């Protein structure tokens, strides 16, 4: 090996540290799997029961994609507390606590480094604020001062951290289909969710991503028909695959 460093360096446990660092740097420059500073980031958005998991599982098979599912296990166990359950059982008391933790855990998802050029995230900091906090605020489940605190954090985080989303995939469902799927999957925390909640959350998504009358649409949006049955939905995924995998620029007609 060419002596890049005439320095002798120092050794720990028989290893020359300078040589090791230089070799690591050289490897990371040469390797095609080196960590990218900003992968093409896709936020997968949609109502509860819109089929986000099925969508992520499908794209997980591509080598150039890193998939980040919603960190629901963390929400179910924050130092032993199931915040998701608390939020659904007593929303007035726990909505702020839950959404504060969602914001932190979603920030961590945005910050996670990957080797692949495409990053798929289940939801984002943006849907946390623009859909869920929005709904809790409208329902009076989160008081205005609590929303203000969430907003201050949100502004700080989105200004100083790389939370950029390059594309939004909106899995559009009718509220009836979404609700039926929720009943079918029978997640224990979601047993008390009424249809009206799903209907209202649907309207908020539509205002944010289709009508663009609510908050800020942070990236171009692809809208998929997520009412389609599992047996045929892959055709819908394939239709938009090249855009999602950043292999084809978006044309005006799909926006």
Q: Does 170 bind ligand 8LK (CB under 6 A)?
A: no
Q: What is the pattern of x (binds ligand 8LK, CB under 6 A) and - over residues 124-163?
A: ---xx---x-------------------------------
**Cα(192)–Cα(253) distance, integer angstroms:** 40
Using CB under 6 A as the binding rule, the residues of this chain from 189 to 228 that contact ligand 8LK are: 190
Kindly tell me which of 41 and 246 has the beta carbon lying closer to ligand 8LK.
41
Least Cβ distance, residue 8 to ligand 8LK (angstroms): 52
**Cα(222)–Cα(195) distance, integer angstroms:** 26
How buried is residue 126: exposed, middle or buried, by Cβ count under 10 Å (0-12/13-18/19+)?
A: buried
User: Does the annotation count 122 as an active-site position?
Assistant: yes
Taking residue 191's Cβ as centre, other Cβ atoms within 10 Å add up to: 10
Q: Does 180 bind ligand 8LK (CB under 6 A)?
A: no
**Cα(4)–Cα(22) distance, integer angstroms:** 8
Kindly tell me which of 66 and 91 has the beta carbon lying closer to ligand 8LK.
91
With vertex at residue 65, the alpha carbon angle to CA 245 and CA 220, rounded to the nearest 5 degrees, is 40
Q: Does 102 bind ligand 8LK (CB under 6 A)?
A: yes
Kindly tell me which of 127 and 146 has the beta carbon lying closer to ligand 8LK.
127
Taking residue 79's Cβ as centre, other Cβ atoms within 10 Å add up to: 5
What residue ranges bind ligand 8LK (CB under 6 A)? 48, 70, 72, 84, 102, 106, 123, 127-128, 132, 190
């Amino acid at each position: 090996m060419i002596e890049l460093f005439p320095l002798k360096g120092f050794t720990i446990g028989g290893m020359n540290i300078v040589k090791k660092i230089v070799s690591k740097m050289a490897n990371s420059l040469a390797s095609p799997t080196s960590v990218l500073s900003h992968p093409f980031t896709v936020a997968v958005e949609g109502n509860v029961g819109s089929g986000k998991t099925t969508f992520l599982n499908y794209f997980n098979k591509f080598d150039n994609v890193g998939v980040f599912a919603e960190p629901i296990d963390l929400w179910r166990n924050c130092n032993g507390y199931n915040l998701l359950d608390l939020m659904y059982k007593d929303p007035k008391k726990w909505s702020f606590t839950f959404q504060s933790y969602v914001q932190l855990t979603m920030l961590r998802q945005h910050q996670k480094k990957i080797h692949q050029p495409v990053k798929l995230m289940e939801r984002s900091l943006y849907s946390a604020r623009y859909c869920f906090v929005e709904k809790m605020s409208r329902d009076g489940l989160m008081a205005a001062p609590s929303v203000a605190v969430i907003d201050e954090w949100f502004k700080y985080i989105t200004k100083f951290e790389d939370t950029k989303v390059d594309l939004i995939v909106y899995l559009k469902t009718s509220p009836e289909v979404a609700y039926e799927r929720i009943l079918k999957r029978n997640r224990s925390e979601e047993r008390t969710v009424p249809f009206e909640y799903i209907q209202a959350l649907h309207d908020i998504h539509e205002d944010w991503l289709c009508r663009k009358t609510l908050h800020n649409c942070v990236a171009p949006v692809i809208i998929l028909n997520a009412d389609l049955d599992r047996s045929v939905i892959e055709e819908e995924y394939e239709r938009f695959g090249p855009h999602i995998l950043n292999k084809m620029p978006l044309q005006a007609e799909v926006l």
